[in-house]
Chains A and B, each alone.
Chain A
Amino acid sequence: MGDFRRLTATHEIPLGEMRSFDLGFYNVVIVHTDDGFFALRDECTHDSALISDGELDDGEVVCSRHGARFDPATGAVKGPPALVPIDTFELKIDGEDILVRVDD
């Protein structure tokens, strides 16, 4: 379990959008929904597509390749063809900063 890392600022990710961050070994995508900011592994569990290439719809993350849907807060699968939940990362806001606890 690693430390919290500042990845970006809250104003960098408008409501309804997502941004991807390259952590060297994998990417993390930060998503901004009505319920707040959430951090997920930027890799769809169905076919390894980039989540950040997709869209947000109705509070759910939708993968652009085959339409799999996930709940950004828990990573749970909300729509096929995905079967397995996506990894989530702990996220906290510190003033304007978005910090994410990443693996080492």
Chain B
Amino acid sequence: MADIINNQKSDLSRFNDDYTAKYGFHDPVDYFHKGARGINHEVVEMISRMKKEPRWMTDRRHEALDIFLSKPTPDWGNTKLLGEIDYDNIYYFMKPIERQQDSWDDVPDYIKKTFDRLGIPEAEKRFLGGVSAQYESEVVYHSMQEDLKKQGIIFLDMDSGLREHPEIVEKYFGSVIPSTDNKFAALNTAVWSGGSFIYVPPGIDVRAPLQAYFRINAENMGQFERTLIIVDKGSRVHYIEGCTAPVYSTDSLHSAVVELIALEGAYIRYTTIQNWSRNIYNLVTKRSVAHKNATVEWVDGNLGSRLTMKYPCIQLVGEGARGEILSVAFAGVDQHQDAGAKVIHAASNTSSRITSKSISKDNGRTTYRGLVKIHKNAENCKVSVECDALLIGEQARSDTYPTMEIDNNKVRVEHEARVSKVAEEQLFYLRSRGLTEDEARLLIVNGFMEPFTKELPLEYAVELNRLIALEMEGSIG
């Protein structure tokens, strides 16, 4: 790899000196207007110039591109679907203007049907359908910003974050997930655009959840979002990403990176409800660091996409730190939710809990991949893992691959997993109480998901329940 770095340095110096001579003059805006597919150093340079980034970020992007190109596609997981990704045929950057659909007619029927059933307002429909680049909630967005500014809290999109707070970004960007981590982290580092940047100064309890949804441009549903959240000593924040309504995108590859840093005594809860349209490959790297007495919680809902591969991770590096991961996955027709959770105990007196609930229906497939790792220096750690999988229908499939690597004997680690179908006795009982078979099944599924749903803000929980009802009816997909 030293070779790669050395070559890259010489390439970079070439760029600075004779880019213009080599390629002729390109206005970055024009460049992308022509609709360039595929990825190479030119594309990366143009993305960075268009955003007017500091040179160090541009350099990191180039470096990451070389790493992306040198790493092979993973040989584990759904290798069949992964093998279908055509990297040369993807747009790695498009200005928001380019992202609009030509017409509402192009939005798939199942998406439109879901919008109707969920009662999504018209303007929101157009935005989620990719038809409009704007979502008219400006008023809400601006008033929220006023409040935050008063407390010294920074909540911006990542591009603006880099522009207005380069020192903070430079310190933490890539500190949790380096570009060498995996192929998709490298890709994201090279072409990232959009995402959220949050910094909470010490001693603040941010009462209302911060939501990405209210940022008013199409880039908050971008392919290669990069999110960086730093919560300083003793502060608390809850961030919510995504929405239960399906989001349609023609871009087939989504590869976000999320880095969370909870400094001493801080608390971060990161809630995601992901419901990408069924054509999307969603390969995400999400990782956090919890320092002394800090707490990180991932509440992760995976409903959409063709293939999701996502294993939120909590690294407990300070004594007394705590982690919790609550994950739900629903795989319907042709879907594969390959999700999981990772906790790394690198300090003593830390504790963690993982709860994973998955539902496979029709020929859907859920996979749980987990890791509990206790380093030899971490004493008196307590971990509990619970995985429950519900199978509905003859074709459904569920896999569980939990790994526990324990290098310290003073621990308490417990793991439990169960796989079953909807219990006949339960169905019988509910039907004898006057429910139809469908209603009974739905009630059981809701009960199954309850530990997750009760952690969501009310409006999300309501929408999620409606969505599950739709899925169970079989009127989607």
Chain A residues close to B by CB (< 8 Å):
45, 54-57, 62, 64, 66-67, 79-81, 83-84
Contact = CB atoms under 8 A, between A and B. Distances in A.
Contact of B1 (A45, A57, A80, A84): A57
A57 B344 contact: no
Nearest to B6: A57
A84 B377 contact: yes
A81 B67 CA distance: 15
Nearest to A65: B180
Given A79-B178, A80-B175, A57 B5 contact: yes
Contacts of A56: 2
Nearest to B378: A84
Given A83-B344, A84-B375, A67 B178 contact: yes
24 contacts: A55-B2, A57-B2, A57-B5, A62-B1, A62-B2, A64-B1, A66-B178, A66-B180, A67-B1, A67-B67, A67-B178, A67-B179, A80-B175, A80-B177, A81-B176, A81-B178, A81-B287, A83-B315, A83-B317, A83-B344, A83-B375, A84-B346, A84-B375, A84-B377
A25 B182 CA distance: 30
B414 interface: no
Interface in B146-188: 174-182
Main secondary structure of the interface of B (DSSP, over half): loop
Of all A-B residue pairs in the complex, the 10 with the closest CB atoms, nearest first, are A67-B180, A83-B346, A57-B2, A55-B2, A84-B375, A55-B1, A80-B178, A66-B181, A67-B178, A84-B346
Given A80-B177, A83-B346, 16 more contacts: A57-B1, A62-B1, A66-B182, A67-B179, A67-B180, A67-B181, A79-B178, A80-B176, A80-B178, A81-B176, A81-B177, A81-B287, A83-B317, A83-B344, A83-B375, A84-B375
Nearest to B181: A66
Contacts of B377: 84
Interface of B: 1-2, 5, 67, 174-182, 287, 315, 317, 344, 346, 375, 377
Contacts of A64: 1
Contact of B181 (A81, A83, A84): A81
Interface centre among A55, A62, A79, A83 (most CB of B within 10 A): A83
A66 B179 CA distance: 9
Nearest to B375: A84
Contacts of A84: 346, 375, 377
B98 to A, nearest CB: 33
A62 B182 CA distance: 15
A19 B307 CA distance: 41
Nearest to B67: A67
Contacts of A67: 1, 67, 178-181
A40 to B, nearest CB: 15
Nearest to A87: B376
Contacts of A54: 1
B321 to A, nearest CB: 12
B121 to A, nearest CB: 42
Nearest to B315: A83
A83 B178 CA distance: 13
A2 B171 CA distance: 42
A46 B442 CA distance: 42
Contacts of A57: 1-2, 5
Nearest to B405: A48
Contacts of B176: 80-81
B259 to A, nearest CB: 10
B410 to A, nearest CB: 16
A79 B5 CA distance: 15
Nearest to B3: A55
Contacts of A66: 178, 180-182
B260 to A, nearest CB: 13
Contacts of B375: 45, 83-84
B379 to A, nearest CB: 13
Contacts of A79: 178
A22 B182 CA distance: 29
A62 B344 CA distance: 21
Contacts of B181: 66-67, 80-81
A64 B2 CA distance: 10
Contacts of A80: 174-178, 181
A84 B179 CA distance: 19
A21 B92 CA distance: 45
A54 B4 CA distance: 13
Nearest to B1: A55
Interface centre among B1, B175, B377 (most CB of A within 10 A): B1
Contacts of B1: 54-55, 57, 62, 64, 67
Contacts of A62: 1-2
Nearest to A63: B180
A55 B174 CA distance: 20
A81 B178 CA distance: 7
A67 B67 CA distance: 10
